[in-house]
Amino acid sequence: MSGPFERVGVRPLPPAPPQPRQRRGWPVCSAVILAAVVLVCLGSGLLPGGDPAYMDLQNCGVPPSARFWFGTDAMGRDVFAMIWAGGRVSLFIGAASAAASTAIGVAVGAAAGWAPGWVDGLLMRLTEILLSVPSLLLVVLLQAALGRPGPLSLALALGAVGWTGIAKVVRTEVRQMRRCGYIQAAKSMGGGFFYLLRRHMAPNFFPSILFMIVMNVRNAIAAEATLSFMGLGLPPETVTWGAMLSLAEKAALGGAWWAVLAPGIFLAAVLLSMTSLGERLRGRAGQGEGNL
């Protein structure tokens, strides 16, 4: 039609500009820092430095120098050697605690998700009771029950109170998976609970709890440092980063700032690196669930 009129109707929209894909890579810096600290702590016997427990009374409170790279503390111990020896103990506590909490959390969560309703309710009430009690108080009580504190007993005590979050996630995943066809088929063919858990259910919910495992390692290291700082941690002869930080007041009054700065930097670097890796793992788990 000619004239002042204009034909109207459905008009095609202009093509939308392509949106750049936002891809979050792995935190390389955090992974490199964490790997370097772990490797050096494991191979600290090959590094120069003296015995971390040796008290050189002629060199008490010596600042960093060519002989003592990180200086010495008020008792004459080499801070450089103490950093790596203490880091080895702290990392062991974190790893052992995470292993214990993962085992307990998977067992309780899988049992709650698979068992009848009254068992599920009982286990979840127990989990909520543990969540309502301060974790550090429970750790102190468990250490008192286990006797003389040591790295392994402290790790087990931390693991015994850090499994609740994993249990809740595993319970939810198991309740969803037990209705799936492949689970029902394996069960009808005679597969028992532990077989199904090991072969079919654990590979599916493990990515969802991987970031929680990393966070448990971080939380255990931080909890050990907190307990040592309050004087409730390991014996004084056991060197850890938290035990080194517990001498912060004496070091500050004596002007030996290097005895606190070095363990503080290493502890903060490890905790921040684990936090960054844990957040990345949680993001990957969320993307995997969104793709299902």
CATH of the domain at 196: 1.10.3720.10
163-183: average pLDDT: 85
- For residue 18, being part of any structural domain is answered with no
pLDDT band with cut points at 50, 70 and 90 for residue 56: confident
Q: Is residue 274 part of a domain?
A: yes
Residue 151 belongs to some domain of the structure: yes
Rounded average pLDDT over 84-96: 89
Neighbours of 159 (CB within 10 A): 24
Which residue range is the domain that position 196 belongs to? 83-291
117 inside domain? yes
**Average of per-residue pLDDT across 91-110:** 90
Residue 76 lies in a domain: no
In-domain check, residue 37: no
pLDDT in tens, 175-227: 888 777 778 888 788 777 778 888 878 888 888 888 888 888 888 888 888 88
Q: Is the pLDDT of residue 118 over 70?
A: yes
Q: What is the signed CA dihedral for 118, 121, 123, 125, rounded to 10 degrees? A: -140
222-249 pLDDT, tens digit each: 888 888 877 777 877 788 888 888 776 6
Q: Is residue 164 part of a domain?
A: yes
Spatial distance between the Cα atoms of 8 and 11, rounded to a whole number of angstroms = 8
Give the integer Cα–Cα distance in Å for 292 and 289.
5
pLDDT category at 48 given cuts 50, 70, 90 is low
The pTM assigned to this predicted structure is 0.79
Alpha-carbon distance 259 to 77, whole Å? 10
8 A C-beta contact, residue 105 and residue 213 = no
Per-residue model confidence (pLDDT) at position 192:
78
Q: Which of 259, 83, 72, 103 is nearest to 166 (CA)?
A: 103
Q: What residues contact 71, with CB distance under 8 A and at least 6 apart?
A: 61, 62, 63, 64, 65, 79, 256, 258, 259, 262
Residue 106: is its pLDDT beyond 80?
yes
Mean pLDDT of the chain: 79
Is 149 in contact with 233 (CB distance < 8 Å)? yes
pLDDT at 97: 92
Per the structure, how many domains does the chain have? Answer: 1
Q: 């029950």: which residue's tokens?
A: 145
Residue 20 lies in a domain: no
